[in-house]
């Protein structure tokens, strides 16, 4: 039985360093190649030694697919391709291909230049790695090789995020990456067709959450920002440069305009302008409304939002600052946080998920004293708010996607074990399909049951369809007979006659002749008629003919009658049939041996 194997090297019962290996129809595919934000050691990257102990990965992988530009999905890519060694194709969408190297370079700078780590990938390695990237367009069917094909679908999580359908023969897997089933202020909702994959590998970040309506969350967010500004406080919003940041900027921009607010809004790092530019050039990847109106008003040109300078953090009075990175684990957002943490008038709003080990995670869990580098502690007095703006599907969204794609099996990654467990139960109950949740390094094997594509001769098919009628009778299905010819890689189904002819074989006729004696005190012709009548009543739906030369024919079976010379009441029936009519012939000889019922006229 063919089987599909799935092994997470990262994101198995965990969030971070997504990296999932799939073996399907003899092909090996790596889905995402991310880093873990919560670690600074070896655990930062997936354990590629699982694939091979010695050396390069090229011969073990047919392709690598990156779902979107977040570092927990692509952060280990240059390490994998340039340091471990992989020269095969890497697929990602155009926006991902554009933005991914910038975030990688940013990540490299923080790690190497600021933290002074060595043995890390270089700028050149990022460039070399990106040269191996083949861009993917939505819905385009890309033939990786003769057997392996992939197709990207819109995932809505960030600009350029894609789900991917991987197909070999009639077996297939869908990997969702991160996705969002509700459109937001700048992106559309994820969508997939009814592709019925053998396995749907889904993220499950918000496996147990059913989020309230987006509108309420937006109103809450604006209210909190507004209140803080009103009382003269400062609002810090740690974000990643691309993604949620743009959505929140659009939100604040329109609010400021409507309320005629004057407090400054800043956006940190030089990346912003660039980031907005990407949104403008890839406007076809945003939501319908933005796409429709972009000629008149480009939503990514902000009037109220200005570039941030480090010195502004000490300015008196209210302000709103978007700063990177989003989990307060390094960089500018952390610096500003340290400055503002001591004042209870201020507020930090965490708009996304924070992985374990980050300061973001700690303060969200209510920690009020933070140990900083150099034994210093930091008292957290400012208000800490969490607003789930990260665009992941919630439990409802995940169920909705299952309904869309109709998978035969479900496999959860990118979530916490306990939450996955809960969702797994719900999925198995509602859809009656198996749901798996392997841990990192664990392999889940799913047996598939693919149907076998065959070329049927048009003659045979047309004849069968004509005889069977448009709808098969479920009670009495018609059986079709054919011969499957297997030659090299071709499978052809033809009629037995055609098969004989094509293969240059002679037909061997197997015939049977059987004499049956019958006591019937009638004239020969009367007896024959009695036989005819008897068979007519027993064999409904058969062609039965009474021929003038003392024969009755049932289909192609011949029944000849002669009377014994000694006793005219003893009739001898000669039945003759070919092997093709064996069932009927055997039935008839048995039936006639029992004699004719008396009531026949």
- Could you give the residue numbers annotated as active site? 203
Q: What is each CA distance from 547 to 384, 529, 573, 584, in whole angstroms?
A: 100, 10, 15, 19
Which window, 17-25, 83-91, 138-146, 264-272, contacts another protein (CB under 8 A)?
138-146
Nearest CA among 60, 1, 26 for reference residue 9: 60
Residue 48 CB partners (closer than 8 Å, separation 6+): 9, 57, 80, 84
Residues in contact with another protein, counted by CB under 8 A, come to a total of 88
Nearer to another protein among residue 240 and residue 389 (C-beta): 240
The residue within the footprint of another protein, chosen from 72, 174, 581, 596 (CB under 8 A), is 581
d(CA 297, CA 294): 5
d(CA 372, CA 126): 31
The CA-based angle 145-150-156, given to 5 degrees, is 155
Binding mask 140-159 for another protein (x = CB under 8 A): xxx--------x--------
The number of beta carbons lying within 10 Å of the beta carbon of residue 334 is 20
Shortest distance, position 466 Cβ to another protein, whole Å:
11
> Which residue has tokens 């006729």?
509
Which window, 17-25, 348-356, 367-375, 574-582, contacts another protein (CB under 8 A)?
574-582
The residue within the footprint of another protein, chosen from 88, 464, 533, 558 (CB under 8 A), is 464
Nearer to another protein among residue 240 and residue 337 (C-beta): 240
Binding mask 85-124 for another protein (x = CB under 8 A): ---------x--xx--------------------------
Could you say which residues in the range 327-386 bind another protein, by CB under 8 A? none
Which window, 49-57, 409-417, 438-446, 474-482, contacts another protein (CB under 8 A)?
474-482
The reply to whether 584 sits near another protein by the rule CB under 8 A is yes
Shortest distance, position 422 Cβ to another protein, whole Å:
33
Nearer to another protein among residue 120 and residue 587 (C-beta): 587
- Residue count of the chain, please give it: 601
The residue within the footprint of another protein, chosen from 365, 449, 519, 564 (CB under 8 A), is 449
Shortest distance, position 325 Cβ to another protein, whole Å:
21
**Do the Cβ atoms of 437 and 412 come closer than 8 Å?**
yes
The number of beta carbons lying within 10 Å of the beta carbon of residue 204 is 29
The CA-based angle 322-325-328, given to 5 degrees, is 100
Binding mask 273-292 for another protein (x = CB under 8 A): -x--xx-xxxxx--------
The reply to whether 466 sits near another protein by the rule CB under 8 A is no
Shortest distance, position 419 Cβ to another protein, whole Å:
35
* Burial per residue of 520-546, b for 16 or more beta-carbon CB atoms within 10 angstroms, e otherwise: bebeeeebbbbbbbbbeeebeeeebeb
Structure tokens at 296: 């008149």
Nearest CA among 157, 158, 210, 197 for reference residue 181: 157
The residue within the footprint of another protein, chosen from 262, 481, 549, 565 (CB under 8 A), is 481
DSSP per position, 156-192: BSSTT-EEEEEEETTEEEEE--SB-SS--SS------
Nearest CA among 27, 82, 88 for reference residue 58: 88
Structure tokens at 464: 């069968």
Could you say which residues in the range 168-227 bind another protein, by CB under 8 A? 170
Binding mask 483-512 for another protein (x = CB under 8 A): xxxxxx---xx--xx-xx--x-xxxxxxxx
The residue within the footprint of another protein, chosen from 231, 306, 368, 478 (CB under 8 A), is 478
Beta bridge partners of 467: none
Nearest CA among 254, 244, 293, 301 for reference residue 276: 301
The reply to whether 562 sits near another protein by the rule CB under 8 A is no
The reply to whether 465 sits near another protein by the rule CB under 8 A is yes
Nearer to another protein among residue 114 and residue 274 (C-beta): 274
d(CA 271, CA 325): 12
- In what helix (H) or strand (E) does residue 369 lie, and over which residues does it extend? strand 369-371
Binding mask 409-448 for another protein (x = CB under 8 A): ----------------------------------------
The reply to whether 451 sits near another protein by the rule CB under 8 A is yes
The backbone torsions φ and ψ at residue 413, rounded to the nearest 5 degrees and listed phi first, read -135, 180
Surface-to-core class of residue 147, CB atoms within 10 Å of its CB (0-12 exposed, 13-18 middle, 19+ buried): middle
Shortest distance, position 71 Cβ to another protein, whole Å:
18
Shortest distance, position 382 Cβ to another protein, whole Å:
35
- In what helix (H) or strand (E) does residue 21 lie, and over which residues does it extend? strand 19-24
Nearer to another protein among residue 260 and residue 509 (C-beta): 509
Nearer to another protein among residue 135 and residue 264 (C-beta): 135
The residue within the footprint of another protein, chosen from 461, 525, 545, 564 (CB under 8 A), is 461
Shortest distance, position 392 Cβ to another protein, whole Å:
26
Shortest distance, position 590 Cβ to another protein, whole Å:
6
* Burial per residue of 222-248, b for 16 or more beta-carbon CB atoms within 10 angstroms, e otherwise: bebbbebbeeebbbbbbbbbbbbbbbb
The number of beta carbons lying within 10 Å of the beta carbon of residue 562 is 12
Which window, 201-209, 384-392, 394-402, 462-470, contacts another protein (CB under 8 A)?
462-470
Mutual angle of helices 244-259 and 214-230, in 10-degree steps = 60
Shortest distance, position 579 Cβ to another protein, whole Å:
5
Nearer to another protein among residue 438 and residue 585 (C-beta): 585
Which window, 71-79, 238-246, 356-364, 587-595, contacts another protein (CB under 8 A)?
587-595
Nearer to another protein among residue 369 and residue 481 (C-beta): 481
Shortest distance, position 530 Cβ to another protein, whole Å:
18
The number of beta carbons lying within 10 Å of the beta carbon of residue 266 is 19
Residue 476 CB partners (closer than 8 Å, separation 6+): none
Nearer to another protein among residue 417 and residue 465 (C-beta): 465
Binding mask 527-546 for another protein (x = CB under 8 A): -----------xxxxx----
Nearer to another protein among residue 414 and residue 534 (C-beta): 534
Shortest distance, position 292 Cβ to another protein, whole Å:
10
């Amino acid at each position: 039985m063919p089987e599909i194997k799935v092994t997470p090297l990262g994101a198995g019962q965990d969030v971070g360093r997504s990296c999932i290996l799939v073996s399907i129809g003899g092909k090996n595919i790596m889905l995402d190649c991310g880093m873990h934000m919560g670690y600074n050691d070896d655990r930062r990257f997936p354990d590629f030694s699982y694939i091979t102990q010695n050396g390069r990965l090229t011969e073990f992988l047919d392709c690598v697919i990156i779902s979107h530009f977040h570092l927990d999905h692509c952060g280990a890519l240059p390490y994998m391709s340039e340091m471990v060694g992989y020269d095969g194709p890497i697929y990602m969408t155009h926006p991902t291909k554009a933005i991914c190297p910038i975030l990688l370079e940013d990540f490299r700078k923080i790690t190497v230049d600021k933290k002074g780590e060595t043995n890390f990938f270089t700028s050149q390695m990022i460039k070399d790695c990106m040269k191996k990237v083949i861009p993917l367009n939505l819905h385009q069917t890309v033939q990786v090789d003769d057997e392996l094909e992939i197709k990207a679908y819109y995932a809505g999580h960030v600009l350029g995020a894609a789900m991917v359908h991987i197909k070999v023969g009639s077996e297939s897997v869908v990997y969702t990456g991160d996705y969002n089933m509700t459109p937001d202020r700048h992106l559309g909702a994820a969508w997939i067709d009814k592709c019925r994959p053998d396995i749907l590998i889904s993220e499950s970040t918000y496996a147990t959450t059913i989020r309230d309506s987006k509108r309420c969350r937006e109103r809450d967010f604006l209210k909190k920002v507004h209140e803080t500004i009103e009382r003269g406080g400062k609002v810090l919003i740690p974000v990643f440069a691309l993604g949620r940041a743009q959505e929140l900027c659009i939100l604040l921009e329109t609010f400021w305009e409507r309320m005629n607010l004057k407090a400054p809004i800043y956006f940190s790092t030089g990346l912003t302008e660039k980031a907005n530019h990407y949104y403008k050039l890839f406007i076809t990847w945003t939501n319908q409304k933005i796409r429709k109106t972009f000629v008149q008003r480009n939503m990514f040109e902000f009037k109220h939002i200005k570039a941030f300078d480090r010195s502004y953090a000490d300015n008196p009075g209210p302000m709103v600052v978007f700063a990177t990175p989003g989990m307060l684990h390094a960089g500018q957002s952390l610096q500003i946080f340290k400055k503002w943490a001591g004042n209870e008038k201020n507020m930090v709003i965490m708009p996304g998920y924070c992985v374990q080990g980050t300061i973001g995670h700690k303060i969200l869990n209510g920690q009020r004293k933070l140990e900083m580098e150099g034994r210093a502690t930091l008292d957290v007095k400012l208000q800490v708010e969490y607003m789930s703006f990260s665009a992941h599907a919630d439990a409802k969204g995940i169920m909705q996607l299952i309904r869309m794609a109709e998978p035969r099996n479900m496999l959860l990654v990118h979530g916490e074990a306990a939450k996955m467990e809960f969702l797994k139960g719900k999925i198995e109950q509602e859809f009656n399909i198996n749901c798996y949740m392997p841990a990192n390094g664990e392999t889940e094997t799913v047996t598939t049951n693919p149907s076998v594509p065959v070329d049927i001769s048009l003659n045979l098919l047309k004849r069968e369809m004509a005889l069977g009628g448009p709808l098969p009778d479920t009670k009495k299905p018609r059986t079709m007979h054919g011969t499957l010819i297997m030659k090299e890689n071709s499978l052809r189904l033809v009629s037995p006659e055609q098969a004989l002819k094509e293969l240059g074989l002679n037909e061997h006729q197997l015939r049977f002749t059987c004499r049956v004696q019958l006591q019937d005190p009638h004239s020969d012709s009367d007896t024959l008629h009695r036989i005819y009548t008897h068979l007519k009543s027993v064999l409904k739906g058969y062609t039965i003919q009474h021929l003038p030369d003392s024969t009755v024919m049932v289909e192609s079976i011949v029944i000849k009658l002669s009377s014994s010379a000694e006793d005219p009441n003893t009739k001898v029936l000669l039945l003759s049939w070919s092997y093709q009519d064996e069932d009927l012939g055997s039935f008839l000889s048995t039936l006639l041996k029992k004699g004719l019922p008396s009531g026949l006229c």
